[in-house]
Amino acid sequence: TNRSKKISYTPGELARTTMKLYRERYIEGLFLSSGAGRDQEVIMEKMIESANLLRNKYNFRGYIHLKVLPGTSLDHIKQAAEPADRLSINIETTSPIYMDEICPTKDYKNDIISRQRYIKNILKYRNLPGGQTTQLIVGGTDESDREIFDSIRYEYKKLDMRRVYYSSFHPIGGTAYEKREAQPLWREHRLYQMDWLYRIYNLDEKEIGHAFGDEGYLANTDPKTTIARETFDSPIDPNHASYRELVRIPGIGP
């Protein structure tokens, strides 16, 4: 196989294939993304055209999650919001310094954060049922779990992110990071638990801080149990406890 050969759908091919799968009830929606190309604006135009064909030509009523490429023009983002149910731009890492390490051609603040802020403004007048989401690679650089938590807290509070997704780093042969150590899946899992404690259980930053070690990393144990051990001075009587106390007990959810 020629590894350098690149394959892509035309908008028409993608729309027809999606509709065939949808009509035969193999799928209920489409997550539309793309690998990096020479001209991201041309790629975004094709992705938007694909989504518009589905909505306007084929009367597709399923879910569409459209991945916005970093640095995409604001006009293309506005166009993408029309056929989509959800938009997302991957932040990949936690800061401009780390972004320079993994992808020097991307401007973290301008290509990603400012575009997320633009999507936030679109949501004020355009109904996107799925809102805006993002994804972060865990361990692609040397960021600590505390740095990741601080970054996603900003995403939720300042950019109205609906969800943040985490993906443990795994090296790929033939890339600059092929010799970098893979990250354990449990680290991804523990970050999802921390995300849940912050987003669903409404634990504040100070409480969640008890789960991090001195170096800013999570142990491979339930962070809710760690936090409870650090914050409860005595056993909790469920017959007299408040909601705030009950929801902080490991094993009890909202």
How confident is the prediction for the chain on average, in pLDDT? 93
Given this model, what pLDDT does residue 165 score? 97
Rounded average pLDDT over 49-59: 97
How deeply is 206 buried, as exposed, middle or buried, from its count of CB atoms within 10 A (0-12, 13-18, 19+)?
Answer: exposed
Q: For strand 63-67 and strand 29-32, is the pairing parallel, antiparallel, or unpaired?
A: parallel
Lowest mean pLDDT among 35-44, 156-165, 167-176: 35-44
Q: Looking at the predicted structure, is the pLDDT value of residue 22 above 90? A: yes
Sign of CA dihedral 161, 165, 169, 172: negative
Q: Looking at the predicted structure, is the pLDDT value of residue 80 above 70? A: yes
Q: Looking at the predicted structure, is the pLDDT value of residue 3 above 80? A: no
Q: Looking at the predicted structure, is the pLDDT value of residue 36 above 70? A: no
DSSP 191-245: HHHHHHHHHTS---HHHHHTTB-TTS-B-SS-HHHHHHHHH-SS---TTT--HHH
Given this model, what pLDDT does residue 1 score? 47
Angle at 136 between CA 191 and CA 143, to 5 degrees: 70
Rounded average pLDDT over 146-151: 97
DSSP 10-48: -HHHHHHHHHHHHHTTS-SEEEE-----S-HHHHHHHHH
Q: How far is CA 101 from the centre of its chain?
A: 20
Per residue in 200-243, pLDDT (tens digit) is: 999 999 999 999 999 999 999 999 999 999 999 999 999 999 99
Per residue in 115-139, pLDDT (tens digit) is: 999 999 999 998 899 999 999 999 9
* 34 confidence band (pLDDT: 50, 70, 90): confident
